[in-house]
Amino acid sequence: MLVNEKKLIAYRNFPMVPRVIFGRGSFNQLEEIITPRRRNSFAPFIFFVDDVFKGNAWLTSRIPLSYGDKIIYVSASEEPKTSQVDELVEEIILTTKEKPSGIIGIGGGTLLDLAKAVSIMLTNDGDTRAYQGWDLVKNPAVYHVGIPTISGTGAEVSRTTVLTGPERKLGINSDYTTFDQVILDPELTKDVPKNQWFYTGMDCFIHCIESLNGTYINAFSQSYGEKAYDLCLEVFDSSQLSETEAQDKLMMASWHGGMSIAYSQVGVAHALSYGLSFLLGVKHGIGNCIVFDHLEEFYPEGVAQFKKMKEKHDIELPTGLCADLSDHDFKIMIDVALSLEPLWENALGKDWRKTITEDKLKHLYQMM
Ligand code: NAD
Ligand code: ZN
């Protein structure tokens, strides 16, 4: 069939990161990259840095500060909230003479998402929560740079910033969300604790499984998803790589995994994990692992591979998370999960409601 009628399909026209630098030590080029973007001496650069790096001169001494530039340390112990973004934006407005020349996020998905959201909210009025959804942002964001220090989420390439608001956990999905510049320096990931390395790395693995096994799959997503999947296996299921090779490859896996879901969608694990996160504050990486461990029914090969890697790296996942929850609690998680319709449609097709019932989800949550 020829696709020659306008009405048939509307393909998504999505933005990619326009500039990226890759390489060990590329972080040293931050100054030369951002300097041309400084509007004037009153318009500073604001660096959001994961507070795990506070006092870590190896990293912080290389952050180029001049004029009124400043570092704001942020804890990644909780996922970003819309209220937190509002507070950070207010702090910047109150303490800088002019709108910043740029926002630079240095850290994992938490810091990258905060940097994206703040850069949007500096040029858009009102509360952050009003922009959770699809294509609600009206004005282009302030210039923003992402520098991941842990690999897996794909937040460095995506057009979303995932935020927990008063009513829902939902991204600001917009063409203005995507970073203007990304610096991929795998050396920055060298001190990630092993468990966290596994959880966030598995986020990437799960992106691949959900994208490659979804009904939205297409050659574009498949080409990125297969590459990311192979890289994950090299990193997590072979013993051939040196530490530095593994860091390099996982950083590229994250990138490709993010590109894969950009043009398809995630699936069952993410839908259920969002419920866990909303009610219990379980973080994205570990939450995905906890959920994915129970999804043989949906992703038999992916889950078998996951269990093999979990064992190889001696990872123990928490259990009994839902043991003491009330029916009301289950209902909250189930509602969050079911509201993510595109994820279910991608995973199971248009008729997903025939098999995915509230009872079924409750049963799955009870196993966690
Ligand atoms: P994270 O940013 O939450 O950090 C996890 C932990 O690792 C933290 O304790 C942090 O301090 C630590 N850490 C990070 N880098 C380190 C380093 N180099 N050395 C030592 N410790 C380090 O982790 P994450 O898994 O990358 O991000 C999760 C967040 O990403 C969630 O909020 C999730 O919603 C979001 N996310 C966003 C997207 C997107 O497309 N925007 C996609 C997936 C996930
Ligand atoms: Zn994810």
Q: 75-130, pLDDT tens digit by residue?
A: 999 999 999 999 999 999 999 999 999 999 999 999 999 999 999 999 999 999 99
How far, in Å, CA of 259 to CA of 168, rounded? 25
Ligand 1 atom closest to 153 (CA): 43
Probe residue for ligand 1, chosen from 17, 58, 62, 110 as the CB with the greatest number of ligand atoms within 8 Å:
110
Q: Which CATH architecture has domain 19-189?
A: 3-Layer(aba) Sandwich (3.40)
Residues above pLDDT 90, as percent of the chain? 94
- Cα(270) to ligand 2 centroid in Å equals 6
Average of pLDDT values for 36-60? Answer: 98
Residue 291 CA from chain centroid, whole number? 17
Q: What is the model's pLDDT at position 1?
A: 58
What class, spelled out in words, does domain 194-366 have in CATH?
A: mainly alpha
Closest CA to 76 of 357, 286, 299, 316: 286
Write the DSSP string, 171-226: EEE-TTTS-SEEEE-GGGGTT--HHHHHHHHHHHHHHHHHHHTSTT--HHHHHHHH
* Ranges assigned E (strand) in the chain: 19-22, 45-50, 70-74, 102-107, 133-134, 144-148, 162-164, 169-173, 181-184
Probe residue for ligand 1, chosen from 17, 177, 196, 203 as the CB with the greatest number of ligand atoms within 8 Å:
196
Query: CB-side exposure of 224: number of CA atoms within 13 Å?
Result: 24
CB 141 within 8 A of CB 75: no
* pLDDT bracket for residue 288 (50, 70, 90): very high
Average of pLDDT values for 129-138? Answer: 95
Domain(s) of CATH 3.40.50.1970: residues in the chain: 19-189
Nearest CA to ligand 1 atom 38: 155
How far, in Å, CA of 288 to CA of 97, rounded? 42
Average of pLDDT values for 129-143? Answer: 96
* pLDDT bracket for residue 4 (50, 70, 90): low
Average of pLDDT values for 208-230? Answer: 98
User: Between the CA atoms of 156, 223, 21 and 140, what dihedral angle is there, to the nearest 10 degrees?
Assistant: -50
Span 57-71, pLDDT tens digits: 999 999 999 999 999
Q: What is the model's pLDDT at position 167?
A: 82
Q: What is the model's pLDDT at position 2?
A: 65
* pLDDT bracket for residue 10 (50, 70, 90): confident
CB 313 within 8 A of CB 198: yes
Nearest ligand by distance to the CA of 173: 1
Q: What is the model's pLDDT at position 239?
A: 82
CB 337 within 8 A of CB 272: yes
How far, in Å, CA of 331 to CA of 310, rounded? 30
- Cα(31) to ligand 2 centroid in Å equals 31
pTM of the model: 0.97
How far, in Å, CA of 178 to CA of 331, rounded? 34
Nearest CA to ligand 1 atom 1: 108
**How many other C-beta atoms can be found within 10 angstroms of the C-beta atom of residue 314?**
9
* pLDDT bracket for residue 166 (50, 70, 90): confident
- Cα(112) to ligand 1 centroid in Å equals 8
Let me know the angle formed at the C-alpha of 321 by 205 and 153, rounded to the nearest 5 degrees. 25
Residues with CB under 6 A from ligand 1: 50, 52, 76, 79-80, 107-111, 113, 149-150, 152-155, 158, 160-162, 188-189, 191-192, 196, 200, 203, 283-285
How far, in Å, CA of 236 to CA of 241, rounded? 10
Domain(s) of CATH 1.20.1090.10: residues in the chain: 194-366
Q: What is the model's pLDDT at position 168?
A: 81
Whether pLDDT at 28 is above 80: yes
Q: At what angle do helices 194-212 and 268-280 cross, to 10 degrees?
A: 140
Probe residue for ligand 1, chosen from 27, 54, 162, 202 as the CB with the greatest number of ligand atoms within 8 Å:
162
Handedness of CA 151, 153, 159, 160 (dihedral sign): negative
